Amino acid sequence: MPLLNPVRLLPLFLVIFGSLVLVLWTGSGVRAAENIISAPDARAAALAGSVIIIDVRSPREWRQTGVPSGARTVTIHNRNGIKAFIAQMAKAVGGDKSKPIALICAAGARSARALKILTAAGFTKIQNVSEGMLGRPDAGPGWLKRGLPVTQPASLR
């Protein structure tokens, strides 16, 4: 009988492979959870001065619902493309890519996309208000249904 019998090695392989999958899956889940913040927590952090809320929706959406009070507005729909969006985000944080940011959109999809784009561009402390302004069943009721304050951005007044 050969020393490296595949039948005898299969259980060992399964344990090693299963452990690797578990470690990778758990690790990515933890990182994703660290990047999510609820609307009330984002509001509290903004009031405490520990985060800047940035609404990445379109100007039309800002006009329809208002934006979170104190939030800055930088649309991900920049007509000049993603590079211009990144440049506007850098301007919104005074060029400091390490400033803590909480991104919000309607229901968390665009803010999640913006988080990935900005992380790739060197921003280091970004969170996603995944329930967004309008809410989502798996994330929370949203900024508006929670009754959190909104204002019209100065650029639209």
CA dihedral sign of residues 113, 117, 122, 123: negative
The residues, ordered by sequence, that sit 6+ positions from 25 with a Cβ below 8 Å of its Cβ are none
Q: Where are the beta strands (DSSP E) in 15-147?
A: 52-55, 67-68, 72-73, 101-104, 126-128
Helix (H) or strand (E) holding 53: strand 52-55
Say which CATH topology domain 35-156 has: Oxidized Rhodanese; domain 1 (3.40.250)
| Cβ atoms < 10 Å from Cβ of 64 | 11
Q: How far apart are CA 87 and CA 120, in angstroms?
A: 13
pTM value is 0.78
Element (H, E) at 68: strand 67-68
Looking at residue 85, its pLDDT comes to 98
Q: What is the pLDDT along the chain (157 residues), one digit of tens a residue?
A: 455 555 565 555 444 544 433 333 333 333 455 699 999 999 999 999 999 999 999 999 999 999 999 999 999 999 999 999 999 999 999 999 999 999 999 999 999 999 999 999 999 999 999 999 999 999 999 999 999 999 987 666 5
What backbone phi and psi angles, to 5 degrees, belong to 140? 145, 170
Sheet holding 101-104, edge to edge: 72-73, 52-55, 101-104, 126-128
